[in-house]
Amino acid sequence: MDIKSFVLSKALDAREGARSLGKASSGQKDKALLRMAEALKDSASVLQAENEKDIEYAKGKGLSGALLDRLALNEKRIDEMAAGLIEVIRLPDPVGEVIRLRQRPNGMTVGRMRVPIGVIGIIYEARPNVTADATGLCLKAGNAVLLRGGSEAINSNRAIVNILREAAKQEGLHEGAITFIDIPEREAVMEMLKLEGIIDLIIPRGGEGLIRTVTENSRIPVLKHYKGVCHVYVDKDADLIMAEEICFNAKVQRPGTCNAMETMLVDEAVAAGFLPKMLKRFEAAGVQLRGCPKTLAVYPGINDVKEEDFYREYLDLTLNVKVVGDMEEAMEHIAKYGSAHSDAIVTTNHVKAMRFLREVDSSAVFVNASTRLNDGYQFGLGAEIGISTDKIHARGPMGLEELTCTKFIVLGNGQLRE
């Protein structure tokens, strides 16, 4: 079978799975999730043996230690995958909820019913845990998943999917609900992206290159974020002790994440009082600093920041520091260089806090809190399937509700259009 027909047949399986899963009760889905979690733990040795094949192959290809680490499935990670599925059981089922049911003047009642999206294509890179995490969330929301993992993890992913499918089947769910495209050819991704009307949504997870390729080639809606170029603006009316803690947390607590701060903006009225102590603390934590001329004027000896640095997502202990004239200039900077991901103001001034909240056009806007808190768990959504910086359908962390849509329902007793 050629690649095009192969991918199509897999997508049609997933479509069947979605039709069946859309009718499943919450209880049936939760039982399947429980059985899936148990099956993963019971199959730890099989999973590790399959994972070993991927690791050997990756070592042969000379992959870096960090990538090998992301690929590895040890007992702890298998337990975490299982625990993730158990957590999804505890979340309320979004499917079937009816909202805003209201009577219209002609006597009919109109509302919106929350329903699954259908088939969700997940295109992702090395981490095999995404296979179980994404499947659990999609399944609870009544969606079939069509999984396309990185070729480096193909044996691990195939093994995980086989275990999950078998467990779902034992609970009476259609196997197509969990479908894996288990060929390594890159062309398979391109074929997926053409299947408008069969696949309803694509969620790519990985580096900016992968996400750009997916977005540029997809005829199917895509939810994604390219990168996180996040800012903290320290206003002249900030509590400077709080500002220091927030900035330090936003940069240092886990610099490799998309919601970590890449540029700190400081009002010039407080620059001389705030920067020396703050920057010394950053340097002591190993942060490489790049400053604007006004920053260097109060804290000499660090590198100059270049304009192109303001667009960069370092994902590392590197930080741009810029002194701005006022909040207006800070918001202009964020609008121009930011990636609309997570941006914060530290201020005690209510008027400025409210303006910043309204006017900064990012997926999450913070007053007096760390950008690192942009996360589905932190925001109370339960697990998340990713963060969107798009403006359509979902913005910010995407939980179960963002994996559904609403349709209109009308309850009448003979209403006609006049």
Binding site for a second copy (CB under 8 A): 19, 22-23, 96, 102, 104, 106, 108, 110, 113, 115, 117-118, 196, 200-201, 215-216, 219, 221, 223, 239, 242, 245-246, 249, 253-254, 335, 353, 357-359, 361-370, 372-375, 378-380, 390-393, 395-397, 405-417
Task: Choose between 47 and 222: whose C-beta lies nearer to a second copy.
Answer: 222
CA–CA separation, 255 vs 252, rounded Å? 5
Q: Which residue reads 């309803």 in tokens?
A: 200
Task: Choose between 7 and 71: whose C-beta lies nearer to a second copy.
Answer: 7
Which residue spans within 275-354 are E strands per DSSP?
288-291, 303-304, 318-324, 342-346
Q: How far is the CB of 119 from a second copy (least distance, A)?
A: 10
Q: How far is the CB of 59 from a second copy (least distance, A)?
A: 34
Task: Choose between 71 and 117: whose C-beta lies nearer to a second copy.
Answer: 117
Q: Which residues contact 370 (CB under 8 A, 6 or more apart)?
A: 232, 246, 249, 250, 253, 344
Radius of gyration over every alpha carbon of the chain, rounded to an integer in angstroms = 24
Task: Choose between 152 and 200: whose C-beta lies nearer to a second copy.
Answer: 200
Q: Which residues contact 195 (CB under 8 A, 6 or more apart)?
A: 7, 8, 11, 220
Q: How far is the CB of 407 from a second copy (least distance, A)?
A: 5
Q: How far is the CB of 409 from a second copy (least distance, A)?
A: 5
Task: Choose between 49 and 409: whose C-beta lies nearer to a second copy.
Answer: 409
Q: How far is the CB of 115 from a second copy (least distance, A)?
A: 7
Q: Which of 135, 164, 146 is CA-nearest to residue 37? A: 164
DSSP state of 186: T
DSSP state of 92: P
CB 103 within 8 A of CB 391: no
Q: CA torsion, points 377, 380, 381, 386, in degrees to nearest 10?
A: -40
Q: How far is the CB of 303 from a second copy (least distance, A)?
A: 27
* 47: alpha, beta or left? (left if phi > 0; alpha if psi -120 to 50): alpha
Q: How far is the CB of 50 from a second copy (least distance, A)?
A: 34
Q: How far is the CB of 329 from a second copy (least distance, A)?
A: 15
Question: Concatenated DSSP letters for 136-152?
Answer: HHHHHTT-EEEEE--GG
Q: How far is the CB of 191 from a second copy (least distance, A)?
A: 15
CA–CA separation, 361 vs 226, rounded Å? 16
Task: Choose between 59 and 104: whose C-beta lies nearer to a second copy.
Answer: 104
Rounded to the nearest 5 degrees, what angle is found at the Cα of 186, between the Cα atoms of 388 and 396? 5
Task: Choose between 32 and 214: whose C-beta lies nearer to a second copy.
Answer: 214
Helix residue ranges, H only, 72-225: 75-90, 129-140, 154-170, 187-193, 208-217
Q: How far is the CB of 232 from a second copy (least distance, A)?
A: 12
Task: Choose between 46 and 108: whose C-beta lies nearer to a second copy.
Answer: 108
CB 319 within 8 A of CB 290: yes
Task: Choose between 82 and 353: whose C-beta lies nearer to a second copy.
Answer: 353
Q: 10 Å Cβ neighbour count for 325?
A: 11
Task: Choose between 67 and 317: whose C-beta lies nearer to a second copy.
Answer: 317
Q: How far is the CB of 79 from a second copy (least distance, A)?
A: 21
Task: Choose between 45 and 253: whose C-beta lies nearer to a second copy.
Answer: 253
With 0-12 CB in 10 A as exposed, 13-18 as middle and 19+ as buried, what is 380? exposed
Stretch (H or E) spanning 114: strand 109-116
What's the token pair of residue 276?
A: 């020396």
